[in-house]
Amino acid sequence: MTEEELKEMVLSNGTIPRHIAIIMDGNGRWAELRNKPRVFGHQHGMHAVRAVVEGCRELGCEALTLYAFSEENWKRPRGEISVLMKLLRNYIRRERENLRENGIRLQCLGRLEKIDPAPRKALEEACLYTADQTDMVLNLAISYGSRSEIVDATRSLCREAAAGRLEAEDIDEETISNALYTAGLPDPDLLIRTSGEMRISNFLLWQIAYTEIYITAVLWPDFAKKNLFEAVVDFQKRDRRFGRVKSKS
């Protein structure tokens, strides 16, 4: 099926995921298959980023969360990290106008204080530049670790309690959700991981309690809009029971 046909199918099938999260994996292997350095894969991965942002907007999703750089990725060679940060900065510079024109608000999730001043400034400026957009949220998870996110949330709740503004008994699931970097967003309905790895790699551990998971062997630089639509078609066939019994048809 063509990309257009798939899109029509998704739109006529029914439920569109409100929030899609993607673990963009496989750039290094994509480059190695071509006998190129790993960073060549990261460069090509940027086309796929553009495609999924556009695809989610076309479907009318409320939020797209992209795992761009994990806390653990700081352990990679310095050269690879610096290329990734440069690509990120270029992406932001090039796309911020486009994001705003398309009603997309950029938001960053993660410990940004670890990022060098230049890319950090570009990110923060782009977030401000798109702050009043309301059609879709694009979350870039950068320097992101889900366990750190939970640690940060716990610290902020403890501070509230110590200041006498929060009682232990008043803490519920909503309190915790609202203390995470993703506060205010619905939990992801669909989590996509490219490159075939069957793991979560410290991504959105709290938020994916009932998320549908879709793993594809496609390597991230090859992931096109068509692949996104295929993932959503698959999602639309799932029976989401949330612990209940299957509803009678």
Select from ligand IPE, Mg ion, none the partner in contact with residue 8, using the beta carbon and a kind-dependent cut-off of 5 to 8 Å: none
Told to check if 50 binds ligand IPE by CB under 6 A, we report no
- Residue pair 136/54 in contact by the 8 Å Cβ criterion: no
Told to check if 221 binds ligand IPE by CB under 6 A, we report no
Told to check if 195 binds ligand IPE by CB under 6 A, we report yes
**Closest approach of Mg ion to the CB of residue 102, in Å:** 29
Select from Mg ion, ligand IPE, none the partner in contact with residue 70, using the beta carbon and a kind-dependent cut-off of 5 to 8 Å: ligand IPE
C-alpha gyration radius of the chain? 19
User: In the numeric block, which tokens belong to residue 94?
Assistant: 């090039």
- Residue pair 216/227 in contact by the 8 Å Cβ criterion: yes
**Closest approach of Mg ion to the CB of residue 149, in Å:** 20
For residue 73, indicate whether it is catalytic.
yes
Told to check if 73 binds ligand IPE by CB under 6 A, we report yes
CA dihedral 241, 16, 99, 116 (to 10 degrees): 20
Residues in 3-32 that interact with Mg ion by CB under 5 A: 25
The residues annotated as belonging to the active site are 25, 73
Using CB under 6 A, list all residues that contact ligand IPE.
23-29, 67-70, 73, 84, 195, 197, 199, 201, 220
Binding residues: 25-30, 38, 42, 70-72, 74, 76, 193, 199-201, 212
